[in-house]
Each structure stands twice: as structure tokens, then as C-alpha cells.
Structure 1
Amino acid sequence: MSSTLKTAQNRLSAMASNFTGGAISTEHQFPAFDDLPRVETEPQGCLWGFFDKDGKKDEVGTINLLTPSTVLSASREITTGESVQLDWPLNNVEFPGFSRKPFEQTKVDLLPVLNFKAMDDEVYINTQSGSQWDSLKHFAHQATGKYYNGLTHDQATRTDTNGIHNWCERGGIVGRGVLVDWLRWYESNKGEAPSPVQRNEITVEDLEETLKWQGTSTRPGDILIIRSGYVRWHNNASATVRKSGTQDNNTAIGLQGSEKSVRWLYDHHFAAVVGDTVAFEAWPPKFDDGWCLHEWLLVQWGTPIGEMWDLEKLSEKCKEKGKYTFFLTSAPLHIKGGIGSPPGAIAIL
């Protein structure tokens, strides 16, 4: 660990031990955004070193907030035992954007080989071409070339550091999910929603209004899930329209990248964030203004980003029950150094 990061860690530990407000648990108590110690080369608000322990650099970021007590509390959200899978079918994105290869499946007849009737299958997936988690080595701060906790791009290409296997070895991602059904709120109060395949921004004010309309509150360690309408659009579009809106057009609706959004996200201390759109934030981001949410969530805080989750059935269930919180489990692919993964996510109501 560099002397700068070590100093930052010591200062954070000292501040956390004295900080009395906004506690998540006795294990994690956060200073205010402006009181975080500066980390060399990084903007104010960087959390590097905060979760380090016993001289070892942390590799799971805000997943640390999913403590046994947090998970036990989340389990009390289960009232009916109904469950909803939140992954799109792997073959669902016909025309992946960003020059990514589409899903392929080969069904293998084992009879000619093994002399008994049985089947295997072999699949190819690009882990960014459908419902996914972004790991903490998926996206770097573009100006510095660094990933969470100071990992350089060169180190990221040569090591397994910050890989998804760290989440798996910790027990997966399990906690309290909170659906912010922005799409339903917007259409119920404002009329036709903006196009999900144009760069339309969802604001913090929108999120606050939606939560109030739903009668929902968040708490530290929650997994924030925003429904924007991208999946619904894709489900109902023709092949031609899908191709135009995905492969031929790299713009999409999402949370506004701004100082207000960054501070709001930090103050709420989510364990992870999820959307049904291409990049969670409105895409493409405005890199020059310093508020690209990928850079803040993945890099500065180590907060996983879920993208293109299928929230349609969940939305209907939550509306039916008048309750937008639930127990959430996610088992990413256990791949050493994994960069992305289908979420294997289930909401249990």
C-alpha cells in the first residue's frame, strides 16, 4: 500500500471511530462526503482504504455493507414467499451494442459419443451483452486509468484483482432490494415517458418523488433498483427497431450524471445499484465534467452496477402488493478475476 493510501486509511479509521451520524452498523460508519480524506490523484469523495483490513487491500467495495445482520434484517422482507427471476434470457439481446458478440448455444447429442441417450450444451456469452453485473475491474477512471482501490489498468490486464470471484467467495450478493419504479411513477403522473433509447436523464428529484409516491424509504446497505423502461421497450420492439436502438445507437436513458446524483448516492450508502437500462446512468456520460457515475460507483467507492435487469414482472408484483422492498439474492458466475457476469438474481417477496 502506498504511503498516501495508508495515511488515508488511518484517517478514515480515526474518523469512523469518532463519527456518530449515519451509522450503517458498528462496523461501517461513514464520514460526510466533504470530510473524506483526499486520496492523491482522485477527486474529493474517494473511499479507497475505507474497507481495507489487516493491511490487505479490499476488493469487494460496498458489498462489505451486506453484513450478516444486514442480510438477516433483509430476510424479514419476505411475506408471501413469491419469487421473481430478474435475469433476461441470455439470448434476449439480439443485437448487442459496443461491437459485442451475441449469445451462441450449441446443443450436443451425446448418443454417438457415449452410446446412451443424453444431451449437453455449450454456450458463448459476452458478459456485458445482457443482464449483468459490472465488477470493480470493468471500468476505470478515464483520466487516471485506475480502478477501485488504486488498481492500474496494466495491473487489471495481468491480475485477478477486483474480480467477481471475490463476491462469490464472500457468499454472493444478498440483501434488501428496493425497486424505484420511476417508469410507473412517470406514466401515472406525467404522461408518456421519454424514449429509453435516447440520452434522457432521470434526476435525483425524480427518484425522491417516486419513492414518496410509492411510500418507500431506503436504508444504508440497500440494493437500489431503478426501472426506466428500456427492457419494456426491447421486449415490445420489432427486430428492426431493436437493432436501430441497440447495435446502431449507443445512447440510452439512465440516472443523471451530476454532482447532485453523486452526493445523493454517497449519502444513501447503497451496497449496489441496478437498472434495466444499458449503463444505469444516462449514456454516453459527460466525461469532461467529472460526474460519470461509472467512475464514482465502480472506481471511487467499489459499488457494483447491475445493468439490463428484467424488472417487468417485479414491477407488477410490487404494484399488486403495494410494497417495493424485498429480499434479493444474486449468485454471479464464479470466475477467477471475472469482469462481468449474469446476475443470477431472484427477488423474494
Structure 2
Amino acid sequence: MIKEEIERAFRELSNWGRWGVDDQIGTLNNVTPQKIAAAARLIREGRVFALGASLKWPLQSTPNKGRWNVIHSYMQDGADAHAAFIDGMVEYSDDAIHMPVQCSTHWDALCHTFHGGQTYNGGDARDFRSKGPPKLGIEHTANRMAGRGVLLDIARFKSVDHLENGYTISNQDLDDCAAKQGVSVGQGDFVIIRTGYQERFLNSGNWHTHSYSAAPGVAFENCYWLKEKDVAAIASDTYAVEVVPASADGYGFPWHSVAIPSIGVTVGEMLYVKELAEDCARDGIYTFFFCAPPLNLPGGTGSPINPQAIK
């Protein structure tokens, strides 16, 4: 893939101005109250599947990229409370976590990725300074992350436990998988792709290279699929959603460079989907009510989440 193809896609697929010059949520505008109400009717039995990876899993194994795994510490434990007890006082424990917002299961905010020095909807990347971005922070999506979820289980569709590293998921793969599962993907949907990538590391107990190795993922052409389907957001069980490495001239993550700053798609990474996928395979139902609110973090370039799929 050459740079001109990426630049052309950036221009042709742009949603800049579609929802107004001040828009800060991109394709999440496709999630209307009517769509949320319809998605709620997908709940039949009240089975809830948590899609957030355990914060104990060392998903980040890329020290040269500046991210680290969650640091969880206790400021006061039971022994401290007992030692400090004074009659009539409340005894309590207290702890804290220290983590990059994108070190585990998370959303990428629209201010996370730039292209040619620009953000989604025509913002200037230079306006994003050390105290945060002037717009497009994750807080703007705090009440937008609910609707119809669709699981596309590509690994199961291909009859494998996991896709091979570097496997490129084509638009045809996505459409064929949806057809076999008996589902449609359309405007305002939250699409979740299962590759089996995370499960491979979980089963082996060795997380080495998890966040920087070659990985399966969507092809660059998926940008066109996203625009055609007009989905609200896309997520997967890998750390990048797009295939790694990508064959692109001068771009490490070409799909990101169009999907987020041009189309305005919110991207979710490192979702834990094993149990949801097994349940979908059992009952043949691959749609569900999906809810995954981010932290209300002004200026956040992303947010840790524990998404819920409810059937």
C-alpha cells in the first residue's frame, strides 16, 4: 500500500462536518435513543458477560513504548486498621491503582490519533498540549456507549482456536462471517471482532510480546467497510484491531490513521470475549445489548472499561 492510497481514503471517507463543525463524538452520533431502546429488547434472559480483561493480566509488555501494567497498591490494609483502631472509629481498608488509560481493555478517544497534524473534524494537533486536548476528550462519550452489540467470531468462522499472527481479515471475511452467523451489521452498531489472539496468551500463561508482536486484524480496506456500514464503534480482542504489521508506506498503523481522525470511529482494544463467544456459539445468537461507558475523564485520550454484553 502506498501513501497516496491512505491519503485518498482519508479524504474520501471523511465525516468532518457531517454532524456539525463542533462535533466531538463522530460515529457515536449514529446511536439514537430509538436504537438504544431497540437494543434493550435484545435482552431475553439477563445473562451478563463482562468483556474487560483482568487488571492482573500483564497485557503490556512494551517497555520502550512507555506503557506499563496496572500498579495496584494498598494504602491501608486490615492490620493497619486494627493497629490504629480507636473505639468508635470506622475501620476500613484503602487502595489505589496507577495505570495508563490504554494499558488494558479500553476505548481510544478521538483525540488519540492524528493524521498529517490534524485531529477528527479538522482540529490542529498542535493545540493538544501537556494539559490536555482542547476537544475530543473521552468525556464526550460518557453517555454514548450503549446500544446493539454484534460479535463477529472470525476465529470460529475459520474453524481455528485463533487466527495466525499477521492474518489479515478482509471485508469479505467480515461479511461472510456475519452471513453465516445470521446477523446483519448496520448503522449505530457496536461491532466486536474475535480473533482468539488474547486467548492464546491466556492459555499459555506467557504474555511476552502481547502488546507489540505481529497480530491478526482487519485490513486497511476495513476503513471503507466502516464507512459503508456506518457503525458506532469497532473493537476486538487484540491490541490494535488492525493487522500488525501493516503493509503501508511510511505508516505503522494506517487503519488507525483513517478510522479515527477521518471517519471519527471510536476504537476498542483488548476486549475479553471468550465466554461471550462460547455462549453465542451455543445459542446461535450473536447480538446483544452492549454497554461500555468510559471514565468521565476530561481530556482523556482513552479510558479503561469493563464492557457488558447482556443477552
TM-score by length of 2: 0.87
Is 1:91–1:104's contact at 8 Å kept on the other side of the alignment? Answer: no
1:344 aligns with 2:309: no
- What letter corresponds to residue 181 of structure 2 in structure 1? Q
Partner of 2:202: 235
1:128 aligns with 2:93: no
Give the Å deviation of 1:102.
1.5
1:257 paired residue among 212, 215, 220:
220
Partner of 2:210: 246
Give the Å deviation of 1:42.
5.2
Q: 1:303 and 1:234 mapped to 2: Cα distance?
A: 28
Unaligned runs of 5+ in 2: 1-6
1:166 aligns with 2:131: no
Partner of 1:34: none
Partner of 2:43: 78
Alignment of 1:135-174 (within 5 A): 135-141=109-115, 144-157=116-129, 158-168=132-142, 171-174=143-146
User: How many residues get paired?
Assistant: 293
Give the Å deviation of 1:172.
3.6
Partner of 1:329: 291
Q: Which secondary structure state, in structure 2, belongs to the residue aligned with residue 43 of structure 1?
A: helix
Give CA-to-partner distance per residue, 1:105-141, whole Å, 9 cap, x none.
0112262567542111110111221111000011111
TM-score by length of 1: 0.78
Partner of 1:294: 256
Q: Which secondary structure state, in structure 1, belongs to the residue aligned with residue 101 of structure 2?
A: coil
2:18 paired residue among 43, 50, 53:
50
Give the Å deviation of 1:71.
0.5
Is 2:60–2:69's contact at 8 Å kept on the other side of the alignment? Answer: yes
Quick one: percent identity of the two aligned structures?
A: 29
Determine which structure has greater relative contact order: mean sequence separation of CA pairs < 8 Å that are 6+ residues apart, divided by chain length.
Answer: 2
Give the Å deviation of 1:311.
0.5
Alignment of 1:203-242 (within 5 A): 203-239=170-206, 242=207
Quote the RMSD (CA, aligned, Å).
2.3
Give CA-to-partner distance per residue, 1:141-180, whole Å, 9 cap, x none.
1xx1211111222112253410000111xx1400000000
Q: Which secondary structure state, in structure 2, belongs to the residue aligned with residue 288 of structure 1?
A: coil
Alignment of 1:194-205 (within 5 A): 194-195=163-164, 198-205=165-172
1:91 aligns with 2:52: no
Is 2:9–2:258's contact at 8 Å kept on the other side of the alignment? Answer: no
Q: 1:67 and 1:328 mapped to 2: Cα distance?
A: 14
Give the Å deviation of 1:91.
2.3
- What letter corresponds to residue 232 of structure 2 in structure 1? A
Moved over 3 A (4+): 39-42, 112-116, 191-194, 284-287
- What letter corresponds to residue 270 of structure 1 in structure 2? V
1:175 paired residue among 133, 147, 150:
147
- What letter corresponds to residue 219 of structure 2 in structure 1? Q
Give the Å deviation of 1:251.
2.1
Deviates more, 1:316-325 or 1:173-182: 316-325
Is 2:163–2:197's contact at 8 Å kept on the other side of the alignment? Answer: no
1:315 paired residue among 277, 290, 295:
277
- What letter corresponds to residue 336 of structure 1 in structure 2? P
Q: 2:269 and 2:145 mapped to 1: Cα distance?
A: 15
